[in-house]
Amino acid sequence: MIGFEAMNDGHWPAVWAMLKPVFRAGETYPQPVDISEDEARSFWMGLPLRSYVALQDGVVLGTFYIKPNQPALGAHVCNCGYVVGEAARGLGVGGQMCAWSQAEALRLGYLAMQYNLVVSTNARAVALWQRHGFEIVGRLTHAFRHKRLGLVDAFVMYKEL
Amino acid sequence: MIGFEAMNDGHWPAVWAMLKPVFRAGETYPQPVDISEDEARSFWMGLPLRSYVALQDGVVLGTFYIKPNQPALGAHVCNCGYVVGEAARGLGVGGQMCAWSQAEALRLGYLAMQYNLVVSTNARAVALWQRHGFEIVGRLTHAFRHKRLGLVDAFVMYKEL
């Protein structure tokens, strides 16, 4: 049984252990591959972000954030980012985080959710978001500089809540 | 003959006179309709933005900015925003700024240009960007809270340079 709670400073070491290999890989997030721990913490926990952890028996399995995707007149659309720890891959954590984050976003008053840069080669993520109701509303050709593959396309994915 | 130059502090009063009614109208930019002059200045001139003015005989007719649309692995795609002064509407300033900004973006090393939130009801702008080679790559339903019309769709527009 996976539970969710707002992230706090005590979760950071476990969360950083998850984020670090993801950023270093340079295959899914646009942040610098050599991002420092402080920069990563600021990105993942800084205001006006809200960040969360997915827990099982007190162990952090995954983490995500919710933030407004635009200022005032676009602030009813949120943006989220999700990372599942390597040890927890394949357990459905990503899907549960996606579903729970949508409910939480509604609770926070958001009307829609937008992912701005879903890397097209991350097929598992694309399929997962589609199963959770997201549509590919746009293709950004060569918009992501994949560390191994070079310039690849990215998708804008969107869902009204 | 319209010329372009990097914006400096001396241009700010003329630029603010153009931006203010646009923000107050709440029909095209997502910034708060009651944005303060300081906030607007920070948005329009803050780093890592580059901002520019379009001039004719020393008079500022329009202004725009160029900035990376994403961090490192997406930083080869730029984002721009343009505003034409009310007195200069209909003179082709917007189109000239769009064309010049594309050349400048190439010079700065960008490979593509992305507009994240083109308000669908701003038909003149949509048509103008299309004439300058941009495609509507995505529709974001109800993503913009138009001050007069309420929730309206917005477009993601994109062009490889």
pLDDT on residue B47: 75
Per-residue pLDDT at A19: 98
Task: Provide the number of CB pairs (under 8 Å) joining chain A to chain B.
Answer: 111
For every residue of chain B, DSSP letters joined together read: --EEEE--GGGHHHHHHHHHHHHHHTSS--S-TT--HHHHHHHHH-TT-EEEEEEETTEEEEEEEEEESSSGGGTTEEEEEEEE-GGGTTSSHHHHHHHHHHHHHHHTT--EEEEEEEETT-HHHHHHHHHTT-EEEEEEEEEEEETTTEEEEEEEEEEE-
Tell whether A148 is within 8 A of chain B (Cβ).
no
Sheet holding A150-160, edge to edge: A3-6, A50-56, A59-68, A77-84, A112-119, A150-160, A135-146
- Token pair for residue B24? 């107050």
Predicted local distance difference test score (pLDDT) of residue A108: 97
Q: What is the pLDDT at residue A10?
A: 96
The CATH number of whichever domain residue A136 belongs to comes to 3.40.630.30
Set of chain A residues whose Cβ sits within 8 Å of the Cβ of B160: 141-142
For residue A122, the SS3 value is coil
User: Which of chain B's residues have a Cβ under 8 Å away from the Cβ of A142?
Assistant: 111-112, 160
Contact A15, A53 (CB under 8 A): yes
Q: Considering its fold, how many domains does chain B have in total?
A: 1
Range of the domain at A123: 3-160
A10's tokens = 């005590």
Q: Does A24 touch chain B (CB under 8 A)?
A: no
Around A60, how many Cα atoms within 13 Å sit in the side-chain half-sphere?
25
pLDDT for the residue A122: 97
For chain A, 161 residues long, the average pLDDT of each consecutive 10-residue run is: 95 97 98 98 90 96 97 98 94 96 98 98 97 98 98 98 98
Label residue A21 exposed, middle or buried (CB < 10 Å: 0-12, 13-18, 19+).
Answer: exposed
Q: What confidence score (pLDDT) does residue A1 get?
A: 84
The Cα of B56 is separated from the nearest Cα of chain A by a number of Å equal to 32
pLDDT for position A43? 95
| DSSP code, position A110 | -
> Closest approach of chain A CAs to the CA of B104, in angstroms?
19
Are the beta carbons of A41 and A18 closer than 8 angstroms? no
Residues of A in contact with B120 (CB under 8 A): none
- Give me the interface pTM, i.e. the ipTM: 0.95
d(CA B142, CA B139) in angstroms, rounded, equals 9
- SS3 state of residue A33: coil
Tens digit of each residue's pLDDT, chain B (161 residues): 899 999 999 999 999 999 999 999 999 999 999 999 999 999 999 877 899 999 999 999 999 999 999 999 999 999 999 999 999 988 999 999 999 999 999 999 999 999 999 999 999 999 999 999 999 999 999 999 999 999 999 999 999 99
Question: How high is the pLDDT of residue B148?
Answer: 98
Contacting residues of A for B154, CB less than 8 Å apart = 74
Q: Rg of chain A over CA atoms, in angstroms?
A: 15
**pTM of the prediction?**
0.96
Judge: A74–B139 Cβ closer than 8 Å, yes or no: no
pLDDT the model gives residue B1: 84
- CA–CA dist B126, B145 (Å, integer): 17
Instruction: Give the Cα separation of B15 and B25 in Å (integer).
Output: 16
Is there a contact between A70 and B158 if contact means CB atoms under 8 Å apart? no
